[in-house]
Amino acid sequence: MLQCKSKMMNWLTFLSRIFLGPKLSSRMDLREFLESRAAYLAQKSISEYTQARANMMFSTLLGEKAFQDAYERARWFSFPATLAMVAEALAARFRNLDISGTDSINVMLQSMAEDIVSTYPVPEGENADFWQMKLLELERDLLRAGLAAPHAIHLIPKARSREIFENLPVHPSVRKHDFGMFQNTLSFHLTEIGAEIEDAFNADSARKILEG
């Protein structure tokens, strides 16, 4: 029965890909996808880990100002890394479609990232050039990734997962042995986003996006 149900779901997924077509067909669509999935990846990874560690105390912690501040800080400081991860996953998809050079793909994604963070405030206590420095890090990540064949999606978080882990709203003494588990969680959620990316656009829509 379960096997039959699984086959039916696979068939429905196949049909949806045929009849619904690509979900992303413009640069605006892609920009919104990049921003929303980066925010999701940051939020999901932080909240899942924190809830698992706090257990039944999580709802209590949410009512404490010190925890709220630490949680918000974690979100701000994680977003640049998750933005770079999702951008690299998108770049990998474009490169695998073999419709444009790596440089033009990277320039497009860097421009989108710059547009996204241009509306964001500088996190409290940080220098005015906070976002400019984070954009340089994203550019570095895309350039590094472009020097070799596209990475498998689950490997992308390895470069910057430590950055997110160190900013979690959990005391270092509590989370000190959890890095491997946390990195695996990031990889899992980025792989889910990678599956979305696979279905989000085909070669024709990718060309349209790149042409602007």
Concatenate the DSSP letters of all residues of 98-161 into one string. Answer: T-S-HHHHHHHHHHHHHHHHTTSPPPTTS-TTHHHHHHHHHHHHHHHHTTSSPPPGGGGGGGTH
CB 199 within 8 A of CB 23: yes
The secondary structure of the chain in percent helix, strand, coil, rounded to multiples of 5, reads: 80, 0, 20
Closest CA to 36 of 74, 70, 87: 87
In the prediction, which pLDDT does 58 show? 65
First to last CA, the chain: 47
DSSP letter for each residue of 41-65: HHHHHHHHHHHHHHGGGHHHHTT-H
State the Cα torsion 6-7-9-12 to the nearest 10°.
180
Nearest alpha carbon to residue 33 among 207, 211, 206: 206
Q: What is the pLDDT of residue 23?
A: 83
Would you give the DSSP letter of residue 26? S
Question: Residue 10's pLDDT is what?
Answer: 52
Residue 60 is predicted with a pLDDT of: 72
Low-confidence ranges of the chain (pLDDT < 70): 1-22, 55-59, 61-63
Residues 122 and 131 sit within 8 Å (Cβ to Cβ): yes
In this structure, are residues 29 and 23 in contact, taking their beta carbons and an 8 Å threshold?
yes
Alpha carbon 180 to chain centroid, angstroms:
18
Burial class (CB in 10 A: 0-12, 13-18, 19+), 98: exposed
Q: Which residue has the tokens 């149900």?
A: 5
**For tokens 């919104």, what's the residue?**
32
pLDDT given for residue 63 in this prediction: 67
Query: Residue 84: its pLDDT value, please?
Result: 98
Domain limits, the chain? 25-211
Distance between CA atoms of residues 88 and 177, nearest Å: 28
